[in-house]
Chain A
Amino acid sequence: MPLLEVKNLKTYYYTLRGVVKAVDDVSFTLEKGEVLGLAGESGCGKSTVAWSLLGMPPSPGRIAGGHIYLHDDEAGETYDIANMAEEELRSKVRWRKISMVFQGAMNALTPVHRVGDQIAEPLILHAGMTKEEAMNRVVELLNMVGLDDTIAMRYPHELSGGQKQRVVIAMALALDPDIVIADEPTTALDVVVQAQILNLMKELQWKKKRSIILITHDLSIIAELADKVAIMYAGKIVEIGPSSEIFNNPQHPYTQLLLKAIPRLRGPIDKLAYIPGTPPDLMSPPPGCRFYPRCPYAMDVCMREEPEMVEVGKDHYVACWLHSKR
């Protein structure tokens, strides 16, 4: 049984101007100890998936359908996060089982509290620790992410970006959760710090056998870390499969274009490809395949009907009419 199974997840934002279908019919699984890379252009719904997994899509968003099955080994239970009471979610799942390194971690710390107190917050709230116990664990966590004990006494504005990022990672690890979602953990950091953070994440996964969902639009980072890769486009997963398959044998035209767009250190700059056009408006997406307006292989059927997910290799699925039986 997979640790996490997301089935037909739909998360919509109910705005005054209309319904934004930010996550529409997304399914995937995550095994214990696995790293899933979730990639896609900005605005395709990656963060919305992440928040949905915590059972708290940002307002005015709501989970409109589907299931998020989380298997709890200790309790021998399986929860459906998509249909769970807030109280139960808070006491059993959120942060204990699934935690998150927030996108824009710089802003994930309350400016008026010392970072030590903030890392201690989940420990006091969930693990029922006293202040002293929590502070001991905070020091442990800080060391784990490569920070000095004295950082605990500092305020967020007294830390560098990389230090803040580590603090937020420490916070996510506080309760030793089964799954850590890292939403763009390295954006806005310089290359050296990026590498440090990535090494840290690698180490964590390796040592603790934690499952990680790594969200980024930077495919080179995913290539480094992920066992499995899901490519999202306009609220849908268009291709999902083992890392090697996706990088060496991409099947969806979008994935292929995306991979071409990765800048390489060696090689002429004019070779750098980009995908013409813009992603569709998620309030009224095109009826058929959402990528067809930008797709070089667009056919008539693409415009009319949505493609189903089909298996094209071992554990390798793609949603494209090029591969579906008409």
Chain B
Amino acid sequence: MKLEEFMANMRKSFRELWSYTSGKVGLVLLVIFIATSLYALIVMPTNYRTIWTDARYWRTNPQAAPPSWVSFFGVKLAPHFDTHLSEPSNAQQGRTFVYETTYVLDVNDYPQRIVVGIKGLRFPEIPGYKGQKFAVLELYVTRPDNVTLKVGQSVIRTEANETIKYVDEPYYLEIDSNIIKTEYVKIYGVTVSTGNEIRALFGRLVNETREEYQPFKGTYTIILKIRYGQGQLAQGELPAEDVRIVVVGNIYGLMGTDTTGRDLAEGLLYGFPVALAVGLVTAVAATAIGVLVGIVSGYYGGWIDEVLQRIIDVMGNVPLLPFLILLVNITPVEQRLTVIMLVLIVFGWGGLAIIIRSMTLSIKSELYIEAARAVGAGNRRIIFRHILPQVLPYAMATLVFSVPGAVLAEAGLSVIGLEHGWPTWGKILADARSAIAEAGGTGWYWWWIMPPGILLSLMSLTFVLLGMAIETIVEPRLRRRA
């Protein structure tokens, strides 16, 4: 077929698809899905799978936080605060540097923690000095009552001659419960019991005997002090490329986070291309095999038919689930999703093949097949021109229906607990489910469990709508007159 002819056909099919309401809605949804997938492929790093499974990457995010927009609906939770400082607010003789920022707590809630990330920490160059150098990092919080508490500290040592550290990945300094405890006794004379440190830091003691706190609304100043043990930085030199101060709140982003602190918006976005790939590849492959085997089996009959049907019988009787679990468990994690897809393909065509075979058997005995043969058509032509188009509507519907099927199968396997490491909607849904079960009523993570479910349903809907429209197009008898 010539290219222009093909393009013309495509345009025509498209226009026809568009003329049905279900086709229109399905197409719009499909376009949204594809566009989102492409967007995800372009903006998301290629190693996103490893990022997703690496808890360290998510340490600056709140855990199990609902989306930020819940505040518009009157849910008052501590805001998430994340800022990058390139310059210190104060420097003393190139030896002590101070970075500071403010955080306003205006709701009855405690933030989760404070994390400071220091990237590209620079050490003074001391001519002639060959020994180790060190820097002291100290974290302070000035509370709304103007009391300053030390909340964290760390000492960074260099190898000899080293002048810069943490270039690729920042060093993370977090608050230290023990330091908070000691500071609290020293300043307020109150012993903070374990587990209450954050309440103590961002709250006020309202009942001393029962050690009850209340959030302390007001402005907090977070201060990072960097002191060098030896030498000093030259004029104009900065102690760090970037200082990031994060007050981890209780709401986050567009879609919230899971209990690891992972941004669900990102994970769900990445789920688009994965879902499309898993669904389309599996469905197209399984349908193609099913149609081919079904037609060959029905058309040629005899021993070919016998062999193919027995293969289908055998495959149909392999207990798929235990087989999958076994197979997936002996596969390295990176290849598990591929294996799942392969198994779904290999075991996914049998049913269709049986139906296509019986359709072929009845079509084969129609007069027009005999007529076509009389006219001079060979086996190939009869199969492709006279039989295939007849089973195509059914095959198309099956294909379109099995697209979400494969994705849902993957989701089901995730729920069973098969780990493949990809942030799929099914995996996110499964994680949410087990997290909710684990929390046992204390956590109802609706922002976590609902979106993947909705996305899965929307995807199913898309393909069902498209299937309905496609069926009317490839089946002339269902077509309405132009």
Same complex for A and B? Answer: yes
A interface residues, Cβ below 8 angstroms from B: 54, 56, 58, 90, 94-95, 99-100, 102, 104, 107-113, 121-122, 125-126, 155, 157-158, 171
A157 to B477, CA, bound (A): 7
* Cβ-defined partner of B368 (8 Å) among A54, A95, A99, A107: A107
Interface residues of B in 348-390 (CB under 8 A from A): 366-378, 381, 385-386, 389-390
Most buried by A among B369, B381, B386, B481: B386
A171 to B372, CA, bound (A): 11
Question: Quick check: A108 and B389 within 8 Å, CB to CB?
Answer: no
A236 to chain B, nearest CB (A): 25
In the complex, whether B476 has a CB less than 8 A from a CB of chain A is yes
Q: What residue of chain A has the Cβ atom nearest to residue B476's Cβ?
A: A155
List, sorted by A's number, 5 A–B pairs whose CB atoms are closer than 8 Å.
Answer: A102-B367, A102-B374, A110-B368, A112-B390, A155-B476
B75 to chain A, nearest CB (A): 58
Q: Which residues of B contact A58 (CB under 8 A)?
A: 370
A157 to B386, CA, bound (A): 16
Most buried by B among A102, A104, A107, A110: A110
Question: Quick check: B476 and A121 within 8 Å, CB to CB?
Answer: no
Question: Quick check: A109 and B368 within 8 Å, CB to CB?
Answer: yes
Q: Which residues of A contact B476 (CB under 8 A)?
A: 111-112, 155, 157
Q: Which residues of B contact A126 (CB under 8 A)?
A: 376
A111 to B368, CA, bound (A): 9
Interface residues of B in 63-80 (CB under 8 A from A): none
A100 to B371, CA, bound (A): 9
The interface residues of chain B, by DSSP majority, are classed as helix
Q: Which residues of A contact B371 (CB under 8 A)?
A: 102, 108-109
A236 to B475, CA, bound (A): 44
Most buried by A among B374, B381, B475: B374
Known: A56-B374, A121-B377, A122-B376. 19 other contacts (CB 8 A): A56-B370, A56-B373, A58-B370, A90-B378, A94-B374, A95-B374, A99-B374, A107-B367, A107-B368, A110-B385, A110-B390, A111-B368, A111-B476, A121-B372, A121-B375, A125-B375, A155-B477, A157-B476, A158-B481
A122 to B378, CA, bound (A): 12
Q: Which residues of B contact A108 (CB under 8 A)?
A: 367-368, 371
B366 to chain A, nearest CB (A): 6
Interface string of B424-468 (1 = CB under 8 A from A): 000000000000000000000000000000000000000000000
Q: What residue of chain B has the Cβ atom nearest to residue A96's Cβ?
A: B376
Q: Which 5 A-B pairs have the closest CB atoms?
A: A112-B389, A107-B367, A108-B371, A125-B376, A110-B368
Question: Quick check: A110 and B477 within 8 Å, CB to CB?
Answer: no
B interface residues, Cβ below 8 angstroms from A: 366-378, 381, 385-386, 389-390, 475-477, 481
Q: What residue of chain A has the Cβ atom nearest to residue B475's Cβ?
A: A112
A59 to chain B, nearest CB (A): 9
Q: Which residues of A contact B372 (CB under 8 A)?
A: 110, 121
Q: What residue of chain A has the Cβ atom nearest to residue B381's Cβ?
A: A125
B224 to chain A, nearest CB (A): 74
Q: A155-B476, A157-B476 are in contact. Are A107 and B366 (CB under 8 A)?
A: yes
Q: What residue of chain A has the Cβ atom nearest to residue B371's Cβ?
A: A108
Q: Which residues of B contact A122 (CB under 8 A)?
A: 375-376
Most buried by B among A54, A104, A108, A112: A112
Q: Which residues of B contact A155 (CB under 8 A)?
A: 476-477
A112 to chain B, nearest CB (A): 4
A133 to B200, CA, bound (A): 91
Q: A104-B367, A157-B477 are in contact. Are A110 and B374 (CB under 8 A)?
A: no
Q: Which residues of A contact B389 (CB under 8 A)?
A: 110, 112-113
A49 to B311, CA, bound (A): 40
A126 to B377, CA, bound (A): 9
A126 to B374, CA, bound (A): 12
A85 to B100, CA, bound (A): 95
A158 to B480, CA, bound (A): 11
Q: Which residues of A contact B376 (CB under 8 A)?
A: 90, 94-95, 121-122, 125-126
A90 to B386, CA, bound (A): 18
A154 to B199, CA, bound (A): 79
A157 to B480, CA, bound (A): 12
Q: Which residues of B contact A109 (CB under 8 A)?
A: 368, 371
A81 to chain B, nearest CB (A): 13
A121 to B376, CA, bound (A): 8
A157 to B368, CA, bound (A): 14
Most buried by A among B373, B376, B385, B477: B376
A110 to B370, CA, bound (A): 10
Q: What residue of chain A has the Cβ atom nearest to residue B378's Cβ?
A: A90
A88 to B481, CA, bound (A): 43
Most buried by A among B375, B376, B381, B385: B375
Question: Quick check: B374 and A54 within 8 Å, CB to CB?
Answer: yes
Q: Which residues of B contact A99 (CB under 8 A)?
A: 374
A95 to B369, CA, bound (A): 15
Q: Which residues of B contact A94 (CB under 8 A)?
A: 374, 376
B118 to chain A, nearest CB (A): 69
Q: What residue of chain A has the Cβ atom nearest to residue B477's Cβ?
A: A157
Q: Which residues of A contact B477 (CB under 8 A)?
A: 111, 155, 157
Q: Which residues of A contact B375 (CB under 8 A)?
A: 95, 121-122, 125, 171
Q: What residue of chain B has the Cβ atom nearest to residue A107's Cβ?
A: B367
A102 to B367, CA, bound (A): 8
Q: Which residues of A contact B378 (CB under 8 A)?
A: 90
Q: What residue of chain A has the Cβ atom nearest to residue B392's Cβ?
A: A112
Q: A104-B367, A157-B476, A157-B477 are in contact. Are A111 and B390 (CB under 8 A)?
A: yes
